[in-house]
Structure 1
Amino acid sequence: MNIREDVIYARQSVDRKDSISIESQIDFCKYELKGGSCRVFKDKGYSGKNTDRPEFQKLLGEIRKGKVRRVVVYKLDRISRSILDFANMMELFQEYDVEFVSSTEKFDTSTPMGRAMLNICIVFAQLERETIQKRVTDAYYSRCLKGFHMSGQAPYGFDLEPTVVENIRTKMMVADPIAASHVRLMFEMYAEPETSFGDITRYFEERGIKVYGKSLTRSYLSQLLRNPVYAQADLEMYEFFKSQGTVVVNDAADFAGTNGCYLYQGRDVKEDKDKSLKDQILVIAPHEGFVSADVWLRCRKKLMANITFQNGRKARNTWLAGKIKCGKCGYALKTTHNPSGYEYLRCSKRADHKGCPGCGTLRKTEFEQFIFTAMGEKFREFKLLRGGEEKANPKITAYQVELAQVEAEIEKLLDTLTGANATLLAYANKKIEDLDNRRKTLSKAIADLSVETLSSQQIELLSGYLDDWENISFEDKRKAADGLISSISATSDYVKIEWKI
């Protein structure tokens, strides 16, 4: 006979002074049960906006197994603040004859009136959640419009110092002399018509100039040059942003050529913020800029022209993309071509700023043919060893053997803990912790390899790809590489392939 039990469910999204703790919720619920036995499910740090909570999902699983008689909560919104989720949950409760009890809101779900009252309360719970969301959103945009620093790290070139805006404590950005000089140099170099991202990153790398201790990259440089926080915003900048459809909060008179600007994501922005300024929010910031408006605008207009050019050019690549790395530095290799039309694989780090000696000369077509030949040989070897039978991946077998040994060693150590002295306990606990970490690593490796183990259907598909290589599509070549290869490390002197088989 299946014995059904009472359960308590408690949830707390954030730990605040004005919120009731999970422990207090459980105490209230236990009082409702008059000291009867129960099982407790609790989720800490999870919102009630949906039911994607680990302990709550376990509770639903127990209900579906027919093991739950009654669910007790401190308050209705501990279960859910969504009408749809709550309605679905009540259908489940009724299907499995589970009683629902709120210890602070006395509901009898066995009567039509009780169920109606329950639904009315959940409507107000959802309304409260949506009202809170709107208040938070409104407060955020209100602070944006007043020029507050909206948390997070200051952009490169600035430090944060405490300040007061409209009697509210916040932080203001102050230029860091050394970093600000680097930022000015980036803008001044890029404002020149012939200067590219690569020219700037190489210049910085050759002189050992780092950004947050790392080499300057093209992608980071691209984002930095778009940020108006550095500009000494004047009337010309005001007119520029107005012409782009940006919501400019301040009057034109505030653009005096001194202060920087904050650019916020507007509520109605639908396009990529890097490609369009339409409906974004521009506010004069309390800090002083250090890049002239003229230089900033020249850079921004050059960036906008580059976007148009880049979007109109279709990139050519290799079916080995994402797998092939430079054998010197480990960065990805990308396809480039010379004026004669030959395509090469080149180290992306060297292309960015010459921070790597490079992988030498690797012609794309010849290298792809070399890898294809290696794939064919490896696949034939794999099928020969497999012999047409379903055999375990030897790597999985080796990991499974080691895992069994680790678990046996943990069991032995656990046996020694009974009656052990303090010194032995400390040693055993440390050893068990190390072994448990190894056990987790092995378990993950086995899981990953199990996913990669080829089925008969996959083997047949790969065989077809390799037999008809010249006629299959670019995407099918990528699928074949994905099925056989984990990674490739290459230079003009050697190639190292990590196989999945």
Structure 2
Amino acid sequence: MIAIYARQSVDRADSISIEQQIELCRYETRGEEYTTYVDRGYSGRNTNRPQFTQMMSDIRDGFINTVIVYKLDRISRSILDFSNMMEDFGRHNVQFISATEKFDTSSPMGNAMLNICIVFAQLERETIQKRVADAYYSRSRKSFYMGGPVPYGFRKVPAVIDGVHTSMYEPVTEEAKAVELIYGMYSQPDTSYGDIVKKLSELGITKRGGSWARARIREMLINPIYVRADIAVYEFMAENGAEMENPPADFIGENGCYSYKSRDVKKAAAAELSGERIVLAPHKGIVDSGVWLRCREKCMSRKQVIPSQKAKNSWLCGKVKCGECGYALIAKEFRGGRDRYLMCSGRLNSKTCGGAGTLHTNEVEKLVYGEMKNKLAQLGKLSCPDRTVSSPEQTALEAELAEIDREIKVLLEKIKECDKAMFRYISERVNELDTRRSEMTERIEVLKGRNDIPVDEIDCHLTMWEELSFEDKRRVTDILIRVIYVTSERLIIQWRI
């Protein structure tokens, strides 16, 4: 049996189609019976192609004695793959014919010419790959739109950059509110991906008609496309190993960032910045840099599986880590809470750490509290009235308020086209929404006064520390401290201020 093999990676006007390849190969059959093997949309850089694999299986089973292709590069562009294929053909006495190149594989000279041609086929493939990579790298450095799905929170709009017609992102008001809700919730110490998914579901906020998933939430939280990048973002990314394409002076707290893999990096952990190339984007960001940085740091700190239960045994939970292995210290209580200890999760879960020693929770809390007071005493009274930390409830209410405003607007637009019955329904619905809107606005004002902690008042909170609730202690600690590394011998605090 004769086999005709045809392959086309991309259907373009200037490339020869599958049908044309088969038609040209039919002449070489001289009227004998043949079967076709066709791989559409597959590259010749390797042999991971379903119909090629089937053809080689049929050859080994003795069903095929001749293989015809339109051109050498249709069957392979790799020297190694082609050499292995020709060895298989020789073992099974299969004749190989290239319809346009006319090689006689029965002679040493014919085999030599065949191998020379496949060398040039591989060279062509690698040259094309290099040219495409260089063009991609050059265009991405200039902040051109490089394709791909449009991130949630944005729409794609036409743009002209350096005289070149391209595209850029533009925030979508309704989706941007949901993005702010997601970041606002996750910036709180106790909030998990699951908490966010649950809240979005309760509010009826979908991901463009689809459901949310924890993995998608995490992808959003580590994506710099949302941040209004300022110098703090620049320094954070540079310190964590990212390759920065723009100078620090360009980071003025307005634009988002594109993130690409560096040219010499094959694979890196998604949460890590090492190996990332950061390019300032032309679009406006959505999330304040301080909130984005807190979320990014929280994602990076999750090296181990985080327990599903909320912190309850110490206000240090989520901040304090083993000074030996870097894994989280878990607060444990024994004898009804009379004995409280911090234990290394790396030792508890996998025995990978020798442990941080005996750490009494009360003693560590006392030491950290003292260090926070000393830090504020060194700095004097801070003046950062714009930096506040809103509660998840406030952020959720603000997002729901935006949804109510949108619904009221839509209903009012329909009034001029409706009949009496519909008018009555719209009036009742608008009144309901307006009542709910008033209630929510009042609640938000209360929360702003109760839950927002301006940084310039933290010193006051520390003087009345024992009067604060457990959650307020955690929130004050989150504002001041990035992470704490502790053993029985030492305590190291990385400050945010």
Name the TM-score, length of structure 2 as normaliser.
0.57
Which of 136, 139, 143 is residue 143 of structure 1 equivalent to? 139
Query: Given the superposition, is the C-alpha separation of residues 148 and 92 from structure 1 closer, same or farther in structure 2, using an over 3 Å criterion?
Result: same
Q: What is the rounded CA distance, in whole Å, between the counterparts of 1:74 and 1:271 in structure 2?
A: 37
Query: Given the superposition, is the C-alpha separation of residues 103 and 314 from structure 1 closer, same or farther in structure 2, using an over 3 Å criterion?
Result: same
Tell me the CA shift for residue 181 of structure 1. Answer: 1.7
Q: 3-state DSSP class of the match of 1:107?
A: coil
Show CA shifts across 1:400-442 (max 9, x none).
Answer: xxxxxxxxxxxxxxxxxxxxxxxxxxxxxxxxxxxxxxxxxxx
Is residue 299 of structure 2 the alignment partner of residue 303 of structure 1?
Answer: yes
Q: 3-state DSSP class of the match of 2:302?
A: helix
Query: Given the superposition, is the C-alpha separation of residues 10 and 194 from structure 1 closer, same or farther in structure 2, using an over 3 Å criterion?
Result: closer
Q: What is the rounded CA distance, in whole Å, between the counterparts of 1:270 and 1:107 in structure 2?
A: 39
Query: Given the superposition, is the C-alpha separation of residues 25 and 153 from structure 1 closer, same or farther in structure 2, using an over 3 Å criterion?
Result: closer
| Equivalent residue, structure 2, for 1:245 | 241
Query: Given the superposition, is the C-alpha separation of residues 91 and 261 from structure 1 closer, same or farther in structure 2, using an over 3 Å criterion?
Result: same
Matched AA of 2:302 = I
Kindly report which structure 2 residues correspond to 1:44-83, keeping only aligned pairs within 5 A, or say none: 44-83=40-79
Q: What is the rounded CA distance, in whole Å, between the counterparts of 1:226 and 1:178 in structure 2?
A: 21
| Equivalent residue, structure 2, for 1:221 | 217
| Equivalent residue, structure 2, for 1:103 | 99
| Equivalent residue, structure 2, for 1:451 | none
Q: 3-state DSSP class of the match of 2:43?
A: coil
Show CA shifts across 1:34-71 (max 9, x none).
Answer: 44554433333332222333333343344334444432
Q: What is the rounded CA distance, in whole Å, between the counterparts of 1:217 and 1:69 in structure 2?
A: 52
Q: 3-state DSSP class of the match of 1:291?
A: coil
User: Which runs of 5 or more structure 2 residues have no equivalent in the other structure?
Assistant: 310-331, 336-392, 394-497
Query: Given the superposition, is the C-alpha separation of residues 255 and 82 from structure 1 closer, same or farther in structure 2, using an over 3 Å criterion?
Result: same
Matched AA of 1:28 = L
Equivalent residues of 1:73, 1:79 under 8 A apart = yes
RMSD: 3.2
Query: Given the superposition, is the C-alpha separation of residues 59 and 204 from structure 1 closer, same or farther in structure 2, using an over 3 Å criterion?
Result: closer
Equivalent residues of 1:10, 1:74 under 8 A apart = yes
Matched AA of 1:135 = R
Show CA shifts across 1:294-322 (max 9, x none).
Answer: 22223323333x415x45x6899xxxxxx
Q: What is the rounded CA distance, in whole Å, between the counterparts of 2:32 and 2:166 in structure 1?
A: 52
Kindly report which structure 2 residues correspond to 1:367-406, keeping only aligned pairs within 5 A, or say none: none
Q: 3-state DSSP class of the match of 1:20?
A: coil
Tell me the CA shift for residue 176 of structure 1. Answer: 0.8
Question: Which structure carries more relative contact order (alpha carbon 8 Å, separation 6+)?
Answer: 2
Equivalent residues of 2:21, 2:70 under 8 A apart = yes
Is residue 239 of structure 2 the alignment partner of residue 236 of structure 1?
Answer: no
Equivalent residues of 1:262, 1:285 under 8 A apart = yes
Query: Given the superposition, is the C-alpha separation of residues 66 and 300 from structure 1 closer, same or farther in structure 2, using an over 3 Å criterion?
Result: closer
Equivalent residues of 1:269, 1:278 under 8 A apart = no
Tell me the CA shift for residue 76 of structure 1. Answer: 1.2
Which of 110, 117, 120 is residue 113 of structure 2 equivalent to? 117
Equivalent residues of 2:268, 2:275 under 8 A apart = no
Tell me the CA shift for residue 73 of structure 1. Answer: 1.8
Identical positions, percent: 52
Matched AA of 1:289 = G
Matched AA of 1:21 = S
Q: What is the rounded CA distance, in whole Å, between the counterparts of 1:299 and 1:64 in structure 2?
A: 56
Tell me the CA shift for residue 193 of structure 1. Answer: 4.4
Tell me the CA shift for residue 340 of structure 1. Answer: 9.2
User: Which runs of 5 or more structure 1 residues have no equivalent in the other structure?
Assistant: 317-337, 342-352, 354-501
Tell me the CA shift for residue 152 of structure 1. Answer: 2.5
Q: 3-state DSSP class of the match of 1:262?
A: strand
Query: Given the superposition, is the C-alpha separation of residues 106 and 298 from structure 1 closer, same or farther in structure 2, using an over 3 Å criterion?
Result: same
Equivalent residues of 2:271, 2:299 under 8 A apart = no
Query: Given the superposition, is the C-alpha separation of residues 244 and 77 from structure 1 closer, same or farther in structure 2, using an over 3 Å criterion?
Result: same
Which of 270, 275, 280 is residue 271 of structure 2 equivalent to? 275
Which of 133, 141, 151 is residue 155 of structure 1 equivalent to? 151
| Equivalent residue, structure 2, for 1:469 | none
